[in-house]
Structure 1
């Protein structure tokens, strides 16, 4: 058995090295650059518009937060954002940022920002395609995601029908496998370890409690998940941000030095960790990009599955929520975590060397403890509890949609039950191999998804231009809202 596990680990390491190697990261960022160029830097050129119609609209537009009727299986735009953020704001925003700093130095944060900037338009494109190609199931629920725009979008191109269908199946399989790993067991294990070290709570007790709590939410379906996340996500984000801002304010005299260390580390003006400058830059680039992608998931095709369930009609409107999702996750939450760590004195800002023997979550906890004392570790443990548990709720929906695509809606309840049971397993087992496997499957989701986004980039460009012409420039043109409308119009012309 040990030999078999070793063989599996060796194979996984080889695959993981390819999936998350520099070429793959360049592909992810390259897709974001392509979509940024095709949409004429929408995230910058129309920043006032998308800010007004996302976070600004929460306070001025009741339609954004209005709940749908009991029998209506759609969810509001705000609920779709919160459910998506529930899955993306997780341990990566705490442990992932600390890992990036430890491996790539302060300069890694700059490249994390670069990934986020271009990732905004990757996420935008996924959501535009998700809304445009979504379908309703027999319960009148919206079903959308990479599997649908691969099958119906890429598959509609000449000679690509079988390729689109095959890639849709592969994406769904990878999504289901990743949901049990990075979306479930690894998150729960992080909670159990932190609750054990901070409060002495046995892992099994944590697992059983979270299994019961998650079961009440997950088995209730998307509307119940959305109802919980729209309350949990704002609460957990605000509490964590307040804590990080307090750390930053206390260490305000270090802000200038932190900025300097990030910029200098990013471009090799100083060696990272005392190493060679060129090697330091490469590590900063690779770790910054890698943790940035893991944090906001832009390019993986995950959050589009819940964004597609929104009650919105305009694809670009939901696309703008995708821009804000990446902005909130990486530019705000990850940045504040990074500044809290870098300003705490635990990192040598001249060399980038970590001066503590703590790693991952423990490094962030130590940074908070420099201000809050012993309560710092407890604060981070509770933050991990909220962040990781919300990730479990979000990923349960992703896995459900992948399972539904492969086996039909009636089979989803079985998946949800198994998913909930795995929570106890995740809390009590050694997850070193499971973490690596889930990283691999999570990354492999990106391959078919990016193929879909790139091949359908012209469609995204047309839909975006159509929206800008109508809503911003006031032109009288026919809206592009759904591929179903276009198919129906083409069918009517053929009949005529």
Structure 2
């Protein structure tokens, strides 16, 4: 009887175990199916809104329209005061320990503007839209410069004092302080954080692919190096990011332009034909009749807008931190930043590709195409140079965005722990993005960028008159004496 009782107990236990296993399998299957359906639905929703904003060119029309209107409102400030803008950039200024100088604010915003978009983005524009897309990049930069002036000036007019010294500002602050709409400010911050999380992954993935091509280094190793270097700066003292970008941005931009100018000088005989080719393709009858004229224009406009960031609400975070004697002074310097980004850096990339046309294997794209163009022009070390430049551009963008995140996180909470948590989150995103692509995260970055841009424009438009009045006062005070 005891034996039978024991056997019965064992059978009961096995039955319970089997039932338990079945329950676990059922729960696991349900959860797997639930998350699969959830992410499929999320992807569909993200794609739907991205198509409205990007594929249907809603944002392109919005930003170009703003550029035209702001240019008219400021009486073409980017042209009238261009010489003065250049002079302001090199004007020396003394700031306190925890304050940001006007030049440092320029470097921070330029660090974010000058990134993967100046390299891979330009390659994409030329590959899809042809040489003519470069011309339309120039046009949109000239218009967007006025938008950058308005953004930066309004950001300074409505910024908050930082208890540690210096200032906090940006779109969230001028929407709250200027329009008295804190809820809309919170929405902007959420969209911005979604965008920047995706951008970290895109940046990291571009760097690892480039280093794999140039040095045959595994993505895991490159990602780890990028994480370590970023962590050293992010977890450094309060002004570590500012101090690093103050030195890194002029160095990396100067290094890139030196090599590009060498390539242009080497091919000086082809430059006239290249410029003519750009203009002819921009207005070419052949492209118009062939139905590709729209693609030429839109590729140039899109890439120009993506690269210079004017209108997105990012750069005002840097501008608002600057210690300046007049709001319009920083506005003018930020307007110059757009021109530096597109007219100089983006054009440099485009010229290298166009001057190498006919010497590069068909079908190449992205960073591989750019690396091959540099290899054709300066030899095998050009591939290595491109990888190093991309690393520097990307690293500076990581630091620039991290600086942008600070005032936005403080807007949500005055406590320090969200700042530290975001730093850890940044490093995690960098590593994951470097190891493998994640289409959903990348699409979320596009969605976040589009939505934060729309909210920024909604908040900025009613305050344009304030920036225009500031410009009039600045000209009266500093230029008409």
User: TM-score, normalised on structure 2?
Assistant: 0.89
Q: Distance in 1 between matches of 2:86 and 2:163?
A: 35
1:268 to 276, 281, 284: 284
Corresponding position: 1:39 with 2:74: yes
- Point out the structure with max Rg over C-alpha: 2
Corresponding position: 1:138 with 2:163: yes
Q: CA deviation at 1:409?
A: 4.2
Q: CA deviation at 1:222?
A: 5.3
Equivalent residues in 2 for 1:299-314, closer than 5 Å: 299-314=311-326
Q: Distance in 1 between matches of 2:57 and 2:355?
A: 29
* Paired position in structure 1 for 2:214: 198
1:125 to 144, 147, 150: 150
Is the Cα–Cα contact under 8 Å of residues 188 and 455 in structure 2 kept in the other structure?
A: yes
1:393 to 383, 393, 399: 399
* Paired position in structure 2 for 1:168: 185
Q: CA deviation at 1:77?
A: 1.2
* Paired position in structure 2 for 1:451: 458
* Paired position in structure 2 for 1:491: none
* Paired position in structure 2 for 1:161: none
Q: Distance in 2 between matches of 1:379 and 1:399?
A: 30
Q: Give aligned pairs, total.
A: 445
Is the Cα–Cα contact under 8 Å of residues 83 and 230 in structure 1 kept in the other structure?
A: yes
Is the Cα–Cα contact under 8 Å of residues 400 and 415 in structure 1 kept in the other structure?
A: no
* Paired position in structure 2 for 1:22: 57
Give the 3 Å change call, closer, same or farther, for CA 105–6 of structure 1 in structure 2. Answer: farther
* Paired position in structure 2 for 1:487: none
Q: CA deviation at 1:2?
A: 5.0
The 10-residue stretch of structure 1 (456-465 or 429-438) with the greater mean CA deviation from structure 2: 429-438
Equivalent residues in 2 for 1:39-438, closer than 5 Å: 39-54=74-89, 58=90, 61-63=91-93, 66=94, 68-70=95-97, 73-155=98-180, 164-182=181-199, 184-220=200-236, 223-271=239-287, 277=289, 279-346=291-358, 356-410=362-416, 411-438=418-445
Q: Distance in 2 between matches of 1:75 and 1:372?
A: 39
Give the 3 Å change call, closer, same or farther, for CA 90–222 of structure 1 in structure 2. Answer: farther
Q: Distance in 1 between matches of 2:278 and 2:49?
A: 31
Q: Distance in 2 between matches of 1:409 and 1:117?
A: 40
Which structure 2 segments of 5+ residues have no match? 1-34
Q: Distance in 1 between matches of 2:334 and 2:290?
A: 35
- Per-residue Cα deviation, 1:35-57 (whole angstroms, up to 9, x for no partner): 11111111111222222212xxx
Q: Secondary structure at the match of 1:288?
A: helix
Q: Secondary structure at the match of 1:279?
A: coil
- Per-residue Cα deviation, 1:359-410 (whole angstroms, up to 9, x for no partner): 0111111111111222121111111110111111111112222222112242
Is the Cα–Cα contact under 8 Å of residues 141 and 304 in structure 2 kept in the other structure?
A: yes
RMSD (CA atoms): 1.8
User: TM-score, normalised on structure 1?
Assistant: 0.86
Q: CA deviation at 1:147?
A: 0.7
- Per-residue Cα deviation, 1:201-260 (whole angstroms, up to 9, x for no partner): 221111222212111111236511010011111111111111212222222222122212
Is the Cα–Cα contact under 8 Å of residues 346 and 367 in structure 1 kept in the other structure?
A: no
